Amino acid sequence: MKLISKSSEGLHGEIKIPGDKSISHRALICASISDGTSKISNLQESEDVINTLNSLKQLGISIYKKNDSYFVEGKGFRGLKESKKQLYFGNSGTGIRLMSGLLSIQDFPSSLTGDESLSKRPMKRIIEPLIKMGVNICGSKENTLPLQITPSENIDGINYEMPVASAQVKSAILFAGLGAQGDTKIIEHSTSRDHTERMFEYFGASINYSEKETVLKKTDKFTPQIIEIPGDFSSSAFFIVAALILKNSDITLREVGMNPTRIALLNKLIEMGGDIQVFNHSSFGKEPIADLNIKSSVLNSCEVSSDDVANLIDELPILFVASSFAEGISSFKEIEELKHKESDRLKAMQAGLDKMKVKNFLDGDVFCIEGMGKDFKSPNFLAETFYDHRIAMSFAIAGLNSSSSIEISSPESINTSFPEFIDLGNRLGCNFEVS
Ligand code: S3P
């Protein structure tokens, strides 16, 4: 497959963004361990989420689709059945890390693996706290995949101070906490996304959470639920930035997730001068949603501090693109977590920005981008994406504001999180050509 993103005259129209990836994983997993049948609407049908769905099926859970909704027949916290085959999570850190927590409290062994990119990602961050809880888990010598989990006699709740801001690590601990003796307490210095906490609460868990502390208390069961998944804010981010940087644009995105631990990009773009209206506030379960209207804007530079990073971690690549078309020097502090994503996103973005002829440099732990201003057009080039969906979509958006086009390498990665990106984008006026 080949994707060429050609310059566009502007974006117009209104779309509904498909379901949120983080919430989709959690909805499937929580429904599978509830006591009965849950219904999930607007599930993200990406490769990452489907890999989690298939692994749950492999573990004996019946999941089927009827009239656009998914029905999950939950079997309780310990109702999963051993899978004779290794469980495969493709590209998804969320899928494998959350399921590791849950599989830690089952009375059968499991082996978990993923694709080439996932196989390079650090697993020590979950292995360490799970071992502290009494889980028998190990990875390769380098603490990478595959992960092997064997049953443990006793799993205890822990008091865990998070060494990195990571919702995946926090969630692995919380899923293991469902089968632990005693409370599980997690302290965060920087608040990571709280979808697991909200979903646990929705399913009836005894859980208290605030910005810095989460406490899961003895919970005997989850009650099955009807779940509607909000539109994915991280997917929306690409079209939000596209509409801001492209002249003559005016788009509306409906029912987008507005969880405060996810929308730091929105606040940043508004601070930069972005014309973004947020309206029709409502909620799906415990998750806030709203509609967004975005119009072309002249953007100023931004300053991202270490406090902002966790809540816009997945949006940094597209914020780098927005900063390239802004006036002035933008700065991003303590963003090294970017190196541990689906690719080394800092390296991948730097390589692409260099080809765009946008000056960028590291000053200690601060990454800087010299914005080229609103009239800048990117030169034509081939963007190397390292099979990373967010790198691919970021440069696809940059291509819309190019002197003619940007070609995107391995665009198939986009299917891991946003298979509708090309079609929805073209419906809004993007000029994505696939061959
Ligand atoms: C996610 C958490 C984040 C994020 C990822 C999804 C989640 O990872 O980058 O895309 O659903 O919990 P970390 O928790 O490792 O930062």
- Residues 132-166 have pLDDT tens digits of 999 999 999 999 999 999 999 999 999 999 999 99
pLDDT tens digit sequence for 26-68: 999 999 999 999 999 999 999 999 999 999 999 999 999 999 9
In terms of DSSP H, where are the helices of 285-388? 306-309, 316-324, 345-356
**Angle, vertex CA 148, rays to CA 146 and CA 151, nearest 5:** 165
* Model pLDDT, residue 231: 99
194 is catalytic: no
Tell if the pTM clears 0.95, that is, is over it.
Answer: yes
- Ligand 1 centroid to residue 429 C-alpha, Å: 30
190 lines ligand 1 (CB under 6 A): no
Task: Say what percent of the chain tops pLDDT 70.
Answer: 100
Query: Cα–Cα–Cα angle for 417, 422, 428, nearest 5°?
Result: 120
CATH 3.30.460.10 fits 21-228, yes or no: no
Classify domain 3-18+231-434 at the CATH topology level: UDP-n-acetylglucosamine1-carboxyvinyl-transferase; Chain (3.65.10)
What is the DSSP secondary structure assignment for residue 33, as one 8-state letter?
T
**Candidates 115, 314, 365, 375; catalytic one:** 314
Instruction: For 373-420, give the secondary structure using H, E and C.
Output: CCCCCECCEEECCCCCHHHHHHHHHHHHCECCEEEECCHHHHHHCCCC
Q: Which atom, in ligand 1's list, is nearest to the CA of 125?
A: 15
**pLDDT, tens digit, 9 for 90 and up, residues 167-218:** 999 999 999 999 999 999 999 999 999 999 999 999 999 999 999 999 999 9
Write the CA distances from 36 to 6, 28, 32, 83, 112, integer angstroms. Answer: 49, 13, 8, 21, 26
The residue ranges of every structural domain in the chain are 3-18+231-434, 21-228
Interval 389-404 mean pLDDT: 98
194 Cβ inside 6 Å of ligand 1:
no
Q: Would you state the pLDDT for residue 241?
A: 99
Atom 11 in ligand 1: residue holding the nearest Cα: 22
pLDDT, tens digit (0-9, with 9 covering 90-100), for 114-135? 999 999 999 999 999 999 999 9
Handedness of CA 168, 174, 179, 182 (dihedral sign): positive
- Binding site membership of 27 for ligand 1 (Cβ less than 6 Å): no
* pLDDT tens string 305-323: 999 999 999 999 999 999 9
Q: What is the pLDDT of residue 293?
A: 99
pLDDT tens-place string over residues 289-303: 999 999 999 999 999
* Ligand 1 atom 10, closest CA: 314
Compute the mean pLDDT over every residue in the chain, rounded to the nearest whole number: 98
Per-residue model confidence as pLDDT tens digits over 219-257:
999 999 999 999 999 999 999 999 999 999 999 999 999
Is residue 120 within 8 A of residue 164, CB to CB? The reply is no
Residue 22 near ligand 1, beta carbon < 6 Å? yes
> Is there an atom of ligand 1 within 6 Å of 29 CB?
no
Cα of 239 vs centre of ligand 1, distance in Å, is: 21
**Are 3-18+231-434 and 21-228 equal in CATH topology?**
yes
